[in-house]
Amino acid sequence: MIWKIACALIAVILLSALGVLAFHRLGGGAPARPIAVAFPHPALGPDQACDPAPAFADAAARNAASLTSAPWSVFGRLEAGWETYAPLTTREIASACPPSAEGFAAALAAWQASQHLPAAGVMDEPTLQALRQVWLRRRPFVAATAHGVCPPPPPPDQLAVLRPEEAYGPQPIQLGVNVLVAYRALVAAARADSSAIRADRRLLTIFSGYRDPTVDAIRCAAAGDCGTITRANCSAHRTGTAIDIYLGEAPGLRPDSSADPNRLFQSRSPAYRWMVANADRFGFVNYPFEPWHWEWVGARP
Ligand SMILES: [Zn+2]
């Protein structure tokens, strides 16, 4: 077990260093463009023992409790628990174990150590905040806007229209040409891999892609919802690299509802789990507060 934790720790440190390098390549307010992004990969195989780590038994029990009840506001809004972020967290810390397992706590401890956090293996608000920062840094759009730059929309000849069967609704949707190529490869792989995704042709179809900034501004003004957690003044959708994909919806809610029950429902879905495990192979990263929102950051090296 110790050598497994040590291997995971070394891998996380190396990958963190690569992530910092990738982030700094974005400096100076550079516009969003394809970049090489370092992604972690599970260092532990499916044979990983999830429970025989008694040193982490208490941490595992605390994680099981906080999963559905912790009153944290890491994403700008008070939430009950962190289960919505469990799939991304599990991937990030390279664990194959559920959040209530001792093996998960052991992997979390290794990740916390790599981030210079108290390495108790207990999920807490600073740890989730640190995870959020790691996830945000993978999005060139966030790096650009952090430097005060709202990326311009692409020229019209760099946009392509989806096929009708690729869109969730009847409205025509545009995406960046390279983004559409990557998206099509992703969907083909998802349907080949997952019987659940194959069984419902609506899954992973796109309900929003490129959005004209002018139209977006009119829309948020009309809704009285500009510059908020749910409607940004400068949306990533203006770049033609962002996609909102259909992952199903909680009963009575819309596929893009940011209500907590809907986000939790989607985070538990096979389609989202597949995306978390595989989308980076096609250059897509998630905005964790919205399971349906993914951004293309370029082909993986
Ligand atoms: Zn979106």
The pLDDT of residue 234 is: 84
Separation of CA 237 and ligand 1 centre (Å):
6
Distance 208 CA to ligand 1 centre (A): 7
Task: Classify 102 as helix, strand or coil.
Answer: helix
Q: What pLDDT score does 14 carry?
A: 37
Q: How far is the CA of 243 from the centre of ligand 1 (A)?
A: 6
**CA 294 to ligand 1 centroid distance, Å:** 7
> How far, in Å, is the centroid of ligand 1 from the Cα of 162?
16
Q: According to the model, what pLDDT value does residue 10 have?
A: 42
Per domain, the residue ranges of the chain are: 54-137, 153-296
Q: Quick: pLDDT tens for 42-72.
A: 444 444 578 787 899 999 999 999 999 999 9
- What's the 241 CA to ligand 1 centre distance in angstroms? 10
Give Cα separations from 159 to 135, 153, 298 (angstroms): 27, 10, 16
Give me the phi and psi of 195, to 5 degrees please. Answer: -70, -30
Q: What's the CATH architecture for 153-296?
A: 2-Layer Sandwich (3.30)
How far apart are the CA of 167 and the centre of ligand 1, in A? 14
How high is the mean pLDDT in each 10-residue block of the chain (301 residues)? 44 37 30 36 53 89 96 94 97 94 95 96 97 92 85 93 97 96 98 97 97 83 71 84 97 96 97 97 96 88 35
Ligand 1 centre distance from Cα of residue 42 (Å): 27
β-bridge partners, 176: 159
- Ligand 1 center from residue 287 Cα (angstroms): 8
Distance 97 CA to ligand 1 centre (A): 29
Closest to 102 in 3D by CA, of 66, 36, 58: 58
Q: What is the pTM of this model?
A: 0.81
Question: How buried is 47 (Cβ within 10 angstroms: 0-12 exposed, 13-18 middle, 19+ buried)?
Answer: exposed
Ligand 1 center to 132 CA (angstroms): 17
Query: How many CA atoms are closer than 13 Å to the CA of 12, on its beta-carbon side?
Result: 27
Each residue's pLDDT tens digit, 6-40: 444 444 333 333 333 333 222 222 333 333 333 44
Contact of 258 with 173, CB cutoff 8 Å: no
pLDDT value of position 27: 28
